[in-house]
Amino acid sequence: MERHIEGLSKDAYRKMIVIDGKGFLRQRGRYVGKGGVLTDTYLEDVRASGLTAISTTVGGSSAFEVTAAFMSRIDEAIASRPDALMKIETGADIDEAKQSRRLGVIYDTQGTHELDGKVERVAELARLGVRVFQLTYNRAALAGDGCVEGRNAGISDFGREVIEAIEAQHCLLDLSHAGRRTTTEAIAASKRPCAITHAGCNAVTPHPRNVDDAEIRALAEKGGIFGIYFMTYLRASGQSVRDDVIAHIEHAIDIAGEDHVTIGTDGDIDSLVLDKAFREYWRVEVCEPRVRAGIAAPNEGPDIFNYVPEYNVPDRLRLFGDDLIKRGHKLSRVEKILGGNLHRIYRDVFA
């Protein structure tokens, strides 16, 4: 595409509903709700981000009681700063967050471990505020196989019951981290629009965490949405950069259409500071435990970080939108990708 001189102005960006479909409430990598206290500096970054809402993980790898306790602590953190944050439970809440200039926080799970094998836990978690349920996380689970599980067995009978329960609770089914057969079968089993909130395109970069064109197309045909992450899996090796994100987003638009593509960075709001303390934390508390648990994927490591250097600022989505417009994408398309499409899906599904 030809590059335009004018990009995305700060004023136009401020008027948009901007949503990160998969991010985290973390300060310097530390989770809010796990001992982290919201600081004024962090909330300044939240405001500077221009985000209307962010979907943050509250469960998926722990038992129900542990997940519920963690959610309670996040509830308390949000309640402690009602001037800056609000919990999102309906699509209309996102409009309120925008109007009140607060960050809307959507609770999601990355997996179904917290269900403890009981499908009725879906309703209990929905009552506590979970609005997005991810079916699997990388390895085999009761609901189905994840993307690094070699057998690729698809969804189980329990998984089908979970999908029905998720939809009955007017929550969003998320197929990120799912195996290929699991993804295909879950899309077919769903009766409402579902999502892959954070992934890449396998046709651009072959990787277990990336998704084939056929699955992206089937998701869109079901009314769903496909989110591109700012992760290391956007390239075969080394640190992902701006051009990788753009290549994946443009391919996704070609396959799914502009009404079915969004961003789920799988990252934090604040800037990543690669100092000695963070590097040690990343190696000891993130990389090594993932290897021990068997959930690590190719192109992970202690010297590869989940960020895109050119977008390492709180308002990274404004810079990304600016790059898209300079490549010839219309403002209306950029508005959809940066949050309009997710806003539509949330309003439809959460109703």
What pLDDT sits at residue 4?
Answer: 40
Please, which residues have CB within 8 angstroms of residue 288's CB and are 6 or more apart in sequence?
none
- Domains of the chain, start order: 10-350 (3.20.20.140)
Measured in residues, the chain has a length of 351
Is residue 244's pLDDT more than 50?
yes
What pLDDT sits at residue 133?
Answer: 98
- pLDDT tens digits for 146-159? 999 999 999 999 99
Distance CA 2, CA 323 (A): 12
| CA–CA distances in Å: residue 284 to residues 34, 42, 121, 288 | 17, 24, 32, 6
What pLDDT sits at residue 1?
Answer: 41
Strands (DSSP E) contained in the chain are 19-24, 26-27, 30-31, 53-59, 85-87, 103-110, 130-134, 172-174, 195-201, 210-211, 225-228, 261-263, 267-268
Q: Is 69 within 8 Å of 119 (Cβ atoms)? A: no
| pTM exceeds 0.85 for this model | yes
Q: What is the mean pLDDT of the chain?
A: 94
What pLDDT sits at residue 36?
Answer: 62
Q: What is the largest CA-CA distance in the chain?
A: 55
For residue 280, name the pLDDT band (cuts at 50, 70, 90): very high
Task: Give percent above pLDDT 90 in the chain.
Answer: 92
- pLDDT tens digits for 70-94? 999 999 999 999 999 999 999 999 9
